[in-house]
Structure 1
């Protein structure tokens, strides 16, 4: 492929894949406002544009804990069946509008039970909403395959329950597992029993690591807990000096462990200093299996199109680079091999022949 000029229209049309995207971080501002009015929750503002700006500014603190605190308002409107159905369906519609052909959406069911829903009811409702969205976009000629990752919150004590749910719903749309929340001070190995259970049941999982904590967090996620992918993982660069890989960095690259990288989000939480200097580019050039993701579309004010555009404009990425990270994502998706292969060969590669 020659180095095609990459403008906004080209990027918008490219087929995309996203592995790291939180349901409760990607609501439409107008939806948050409407649902908040229905449940009597007070927001910082009831103007959609102002609310979107408030989220971006509030999250732009350089601190992961403050970033997470912005989820108070989205979670407040996701405690009812109606709220979950709507946000899950709209999630799929928004992916389709962004050119995404495969997405994995993650959320922690324990955070959606304040309105009286049981954990299993939360999962069933979200899956129903996602299915409705997938049916709509397929009928519109822009199909999106969406798999669900259930999260346990590493600061709390219900991680094993979430893992049990992932096993129970593995044939009903749930494709994997994750732990999320404040990373520093809450080591993944505290929940080793949950990960051992998932391994026994052959359920794949990723772990947030190397975002707000260092190499020890990544090492623990991989070598103690057994994660198949790493959420963020930007701190793996601490194990690379002058292009020479340390043992952990070498393990990650050589075993083709996908890094779910989220440039805009990493700037907001202080895990990176700029798009131009974000580790995703250097790691890509060193042969790591990097993937490009949004993390939280509302909170970070972003889309996959925007993330791609930023890398093109500020880090010199080409269409071939964008194709590489998209294929990387599908190679590491938590769905069967034949489905991944078909998406790569029948959808992504033809879509990048621009």
Structure 2
């Protein structure tokens, strides 16, 4: 075993914290087929497990965020009953726990699960019930995990205030925060200022998808106008970084090499603000490669931003569409971007510090679970 290049077994055993994972982006293909059969959903693009998994992955590999988002038509399509929602939520927890995740925030948009006649509250309560069932099953299997929900409002819709109120209503019952998601271009977060102002008045936590398909203005609005606690993705903050007198975004690979060789980094005012105020970046390497926000994991800005000591975290985004897991994301960073076990530990602690649960709960997981287990693996 090497701290500089941990093997797959060590990575699998390492404790993980996941802040950016979409519930409707992580279904098991077999579950989709079974629920479709039970509910009469007849629009699936493939009728077998392998074919369906392949279709999701190939469709998500288009390089377009808009095309990537189209794949959710089918996962959301089978998540329209209480039983389906509860099952998907339970299996999500079990899958994450089996992968070594000790804390996760799973996000979903309640407004997308009303086709079968459910009320928003029905959706939240079914998902919460599934999460609790999954936690119990994981604990019995020897893989304890805590999972909370982030309620998402869609950028193109007009329910953000209603969803924000729902997040506050259920924040003592399994919901830890709020999010907005969907295509960024044409749908700035400022369309939802009423929801964000309400959340701030209620002392509630929220993150905003920003800086993925759209650039620095998206990040600036999310932080300065809306007051986001975290940035969903935030990969385009690299547009405000200069290495060796060249914008880092011009050639991320060359910028990373120059920085590693000792070239000085210059941060623009927005990048400096994000770094100085320790705003967490919920970064999703494989997903970003699929949607064109990065051209490879090796050249993904996450490594440069890590080296510059931004508060980066490692996440899956959509496990089904990316064919991924937390272990796989970490392994890719080790194999393709040169991350070490200490880097993985650092990013994991970053994530736990940034979670939307009380400070004492975060500290307990860091001191009693994450640090001891990494120490056992050789990374004190």
Query: Normalising by the residue count of structure 2, what TM-score does the alignment of the two structures yield?
Result: 0.92
**In 1: Cα distance, 2:363 partner to 2:211 partner:** 29
Structure 1 residue aligned with 2:151:
150
Structure 2 residue aligned with 1:193:
194
1:252 and 2:274 equivalent? yes
**In 2: Cα distance, 1:146 partner to 1:81 partner:** 19
**In 2: Cα distance, 1:351 partner to 1:265 partner:** 28
1:292 and 2:314 equivalent? yes
Structure 2 residue aligned with 1:343:
365
Structure 2 residue aligned with 1:128:
129
**In 2: Cα distance, 1:246 partner to 1:351 partner:** 38
- C-alpha contact (below 8 Å) 2:5/2:339 kept by paired residues: no
Structure 1 residue aligned with 2:254:
none
Cα-to-partner distance string for 1:32-72 (whole Å, 9 max, x where unaligned):
01001111122111211121111010011111111000001
**In 2: Cα distance, 1:7 partner to 1:101 partner:** 20
**In 2: Cα distance, 1:5 partner to 1:179 partner:** 36
Structure 1 residue aligned with 2:3:
3
1:308 and 2:308 equivalent? no
Computed over aligned residues only, the root mean square deviation of the Cα atoms, in angstroms, reads 1.0
| Pairing of 1:254-269 with structure 2 (within 5 A) | 254-269=276-291
**In 2: Cα distance, 1:54 partner to 1:180 partner:** 23
Structure 1 residue aligned with 2:67:
66
Cα-to-partner distance string for 1:268-295 (whole Å, 9 max, x where unaligned):
1110010000000000000100000000
**In 1: Cα distance, 2:297 partner to 2:364 partner:** 32
1:36 and 2:36 equivalent? yes
Cα-to-partner distance string for 1:116-149 (whole Å, 9 max, x where unaligned):
1000110011001101111111122211010110
**In 2: Cα distance, 1:105 partner to 1:126 partner:** 10
- C-alpha contact (below 8 Å) 2:16/2:100 kept by paired residues: yes
SS at match of 1:298: helix
SS at match of 2:27: coil
Query: Normalising by the residue count of structure 1, what TM-score does the alignment of the two structures yield?
Result: 0.99
**In 2: Cα distance, 1:352 partner to 1:5 partner:** 14
**In 1: Cα distance, 2:240 partner to 2:104 partner:** 30
SS at match of 1:44: coil
C-alpha displacement of 1:5: 3.9
1:138 and 2:160 equivalent? no
**In 2: Cα distance, 1:307 partner to 1:76 partner:** 27
Structure 1 residue aligned with 2:251:
none
**In 2: Cα distance, 1:9 partner to 1:106 partner:** 28
**In 1: Cα distance, 2:162 partner to 2:364 partner:** 34
**In 2: Cα distance, 1:337 partner to 1:13 partner:** 25
SS at match of 1:352: helix
C-alpha displacement of 1:4: 4.8
Structure 1 residue aligned with 2:258:
none
Structure 2 residue aligned with 1:333:
355
Cα-to-partner distance string for 1:194-246 (whole Å, 9 max, x where unaligned):
00000000111000000010100000000000001000001000000112101
- Give the gaps of 5 or more residues in structure 2: 244-264
- C-alpha contact (below 8 Å) 2:39/2:78 kept by paired residues: yes
